[in-house]
Amino acid sequence: MSLVIDHISMSYGKTAVLHDISAEIGRGEFLSILGHSGCGKTTLLKIIAGFVRPTGGRVLLDGALYSDPSHSVPPEKRDMGMVFQSFALWPHMTIRQHVEFPLQCRAKDLSQAEKDQKVAHALEVTGLSDLAGRYPDELSGGQKQRVSLARAIVSGPALLLMDEPLSALDADLRISMRKEISRIHRLTGTTVIFVTHDQGEALSLSNRIMVLNGGRIEQIGTPEDIYLHPQTKFIASFIGRCNFVKGDWDGDVFHTREGKFVVRGAAVADAFRRDHICPIRPEQLRLSGEGDGLAGVVQEKQYNGREIHYAVASGDELFTVYAPAAENYAIGDEVYLQCR
């Protein structure tokens, strides 16, 4: 299965929502579409699903045209499953009936025995076998979301689309469901496109992340590339925390008015070098009581178990530093900032 998004654009009247989006998603991949509210990520998912027809570009699945401005394969004829932001469960149907529903609509050529086998497998994979006879109002939030997942995967779709499926859950349950989604992806091998505004979800679940900003692709790459090698200031600030230091580059050495430090082996994007900026993650800095680096003074500290989060003033800059708890400095201590 290969999904190709080919120069997709979308406008509502004079309002442009998506601008020239292109990507290819391979078999078994888990791609997260990440961005702020209003960046166009759900619109892109709706175009892939067939709910919306693009105003420009094409969507192809295994070389077959699924969408363009003049043609769109209906959603029910696409080999895709969908998990919505809301659970979208019917109160009068049991869990088993929910999971069987796609087979009744789209797999009428299957015998009842074959349908029963598929339903039993989907319930087992999602951990719902013992709850098959219950109704939605008898389930917890996490169990309801697993029903949505089971319903989406029961027919063995080539592509599973997920639109912010964890946003309605509380923090602890979201973390638990991340593990469930990852486990189900490993078990089924289904290709997944996962829309989210949560950086933690995207980083922990994905093979690749597409970051959208204002309807355009800001960067696409592995979680490691996105986090460690941001190509723009937006990416560096949106994904995690980042210090932006002003100065001048000389190879891997970055010079500021307060001193210099070496960024060894860092693939710093050309955009940062041109703008005389060095992006440094808080955990990429360490504090030392002596030696080379930027001289600074500890302004604030917060104990966070294994880490201490410091705010260190150096000249006109205020650095955020995440250091191991064993490296304990007091407010007012003079320190040197170095790259790990």
Domain ranges in the chain are: 3-228, 241-339
Output 290 or 312, whichever has higher pLDDT.
312
Q: What is the pTM of this model?
A: 0.88
Give the mean pLDDT of 315-319. Answer: 90
Q: Which residue type occupies 317?
A: E
Residue 146 phi/psi, 5-degree rounding, is -70, -30
Residue 217 pairs in a beta bridge with: 212
If 0-12 CB within 10 Å is exposed, 13-18 middle and 19+ buried, where does residue 77 land?
A: exposed
Instruction: Tell me 92's DSSP state.
Output: T
Give the mean pLDDT of 47-57. Answer: 96
What is the per-residue pLDDT for 266?
A: 57
pLDDT in tens, 253-304: 888 887 888 876 556 888 898 999 989 999 989 999 887 788 899 999 999 9
pLDDT in tens, 65-116: 999 999 999 998 998 999 988 888 999 999 999 999 989 877 778 888 999 9
Which SS3 state, helix, strand or coil, does residue 314 take? strand
Same fold, 3-228 and 241-339: no
What is the per-residue pLDDT for 256?
A: 86
The H helix count followed by the E strand count for the chain is 9, 21
Q: What class does CATH assign to 241-339?
A: mainly beta
Distances, alpha carbon 275 to alpha carbons 235, 285, 302, in Å: 15, 21, 32
pLDDT value at 131 more than 90: yes
What is the per-residue pLDDT for 104?
A: 83
Residue 64 pairs in a beta bridge with: 61
Say how many C-beta atoms besides its own lie within 10 A of residue 46's C-beta. Answer: 19
| Contact by Cβ (8 Å): 41, 195 | yes
Output 8 or 272, whichever has higher pLDDT.
8
Q: How sure is the predictor about 196, in pLDDT bands with cuts at 50, 70 and 90?
A: very high
Chain centre to alpha carbon of residue 237: 15
Q: What class does CATH assign to 3-228?
A: alpha beta
